[in-house]
Structure 1
Amino acid sequence: MARGDSNRLYERVSTDLAARITDGSYEIGQRLPPERLLAQTYSVSRPTIREAIIALEVDGLVEVRMGSGVYVTARVPRGGAPVETDMGPFELLEARRAIEGEACALAAAQISDELLAGLEALVDEMSRSAGDIMASEDADRRFHLAIAQATGNSAMYMAVEMLWDARARSPQYRLLSDKAHLAGVTPVIEEHRRIIEALRSRDPGRARKAMISHLSRVLESLLQATEVHELEQAKVRLDAQRQRYMTAG
């Protein structure tokens, strides 16, 4: 499916920005408008703009310079065509939060002591693998899939598995993960232990809340990891001061 045919908001934005880059509306070396202004221009959320920028990064069209902004680096995507896309990383996490929250609630009503022991073993594995990101995240994936399996509902398990598989094949999510790892974002052991305790209580409401809280924290940490921190007002003041001093000279 071509990007322009997609209903994904972030793809609509990235397609339009890519077209503007290609036709020279944004020159190579030029900084794109700040995230806040782009969100207003396209009438979308800032996380959606963040997803669109990540898609442009994957295509090699822009470079994100922390503390400065997003700059155009090429007019044509790597390989001459946009990289095939999948779900945006933030919309993927929103879906996980909704679906896995309900999966956790359903699992709480019937989870066995044996499955709880298996979850504890996976958290211990995450803890031991703290210095190995790939191993830690693999244990994290198995933890979440084990909870989905504990629901006893094959459709629920397939839905959760599909979201994790979409995460694994998404070039945008891989780039986002790289940014998150550089920012020190890793699975939080204590949050997983709280999920286990909520499941052990056999209280669906408590279990749902624990999972939603965990995935909300993940979403927030990824947003922070991709924050550009454009100091737009400071730049305006600096430019004004420079112009005043040059005029005085």
Structure 2
Amino acid sequence: MVSSYFARFKHVTPKRVSDFILEQLEEAIILKDVLPEEQLPPERELATLFKASRLAVREAIAELEEKGLIERRLGAKGGTFVLPLTAKTHQRTKQQIAENWARMKEMLEYRSIIEPEAARLAAARITTEQLAHIRELVEKSSGEDCTREMFRSLDVKFHLEIAHASGNSYIESAVRRVRTNINPGLDLMPYNRQTQLSSCELHHVLLEALDARDGDKASETMKAHVNKTLSALSQFVE
């Protein structure tokens, strides 16, 4: 008798080369590895980097443009430039987030498990250089002149740096995946001085826990931080 387990296998779906290129470029933009107003390499160079055809690169670029993540400019100083993620926020409506809320909620719940443990490990393994970098990120994100886009950028870097400091590549990869999936929702959240300082306050507490090598406090603070985001996004969408 054939085991009923085989019925649970997922269907195979075809994936184009351009999809692989799109995923990597989109992640780099969302996670601020490529910053707003930074110019992407020409199609020819990207094709060489990805070892793919220019047609595949062109298709990926077209999808990025459709999503409002990049802009192609003409003229002597033309090229393909990364747009601030919040610049096209009006194109991503609350309804769009609500339609994908079940999946995003699962991702946020997953985050509430992964990131506290990343913080616990980071408290034990973080280097002096990493700690100094995180402190710099916290200080910059607290400034009165910190714009919405800059704050989002610094916030992503803050969480990714802690994941990196955990010294566990699987945890770091998981945190990158989570941030790539939840950032479109976070971009829709209201931003003002009060929300900025509220987030920075928890960042400061977390920073001091890392500095004190207090794994329990680092984990508890991170859990409170990510759960606060889950609650705020739930209220916004539901």
Instruction: Bin the TM-score by the shorter chain.
Output: 0.5 to 0.7
Structure 1 residue aligned with 2:229: 218
Matched residue of 2:228: which SS? Answer: helix
Alignment CA distance shift 1:139-1:129 (3 Å): farther
Partner Cα separation in structure 1 for residue 167 and residue 112 of structure 2: 19
Q: TM-score, normalising length from structure 2? A: 0.53
Residues 1:88 and 1:130: Cα distance change in structure 2 (over 3 Å): farther
Q: Deviations over 1:48-92 (max 9, x none)?
A: xxxxxx998229xx9xxxxxxxxxxxxxxxxxxxx8x58733332
Work out whether 1:178 is the aligned partner of 2:216. Answer: no
Change in 2 beyond 3 A, CA 1:114/1:183:
closer
List runs of 5+ in structure 1 lacking aligned partners: 6-53, 63-82, 228-249
Q: How many pairs were matched up?
A: 148
Per-residue CA shift, 1:141-163, capped at 9, x if unaligned?
00000001001111111111111
Percent identical among aligned pairs is 31
Aligned: 1:101 with 2:112: no
Per-residue displacement from partner, 1:140-195 (whole Å, max 9, x unpaired)?
00000000100111111111111111224x5xx26xx4243489744611100100
Larger radius of gyration: 1
Contact 1:87 1:166 survives alignment (8 Å): no
SS at match of 2:188: helix
1:18-57 counterparts in 2 under 5 A? 57=95
In 2: Cα distance, 1:206 partner to 1:182 partner: 28
Q: TM-score, normalised by structure 1?
A: 0.51
- Superposition CA RMSD, Å: 3.3
Cα distance in 1 for partners of 2:192, 2:129 equals: 36
| 1:71-114 Cα deviation digits (max 9, x unpaired) | xxxxxxxxxxxx8x587333322211110000000111111222
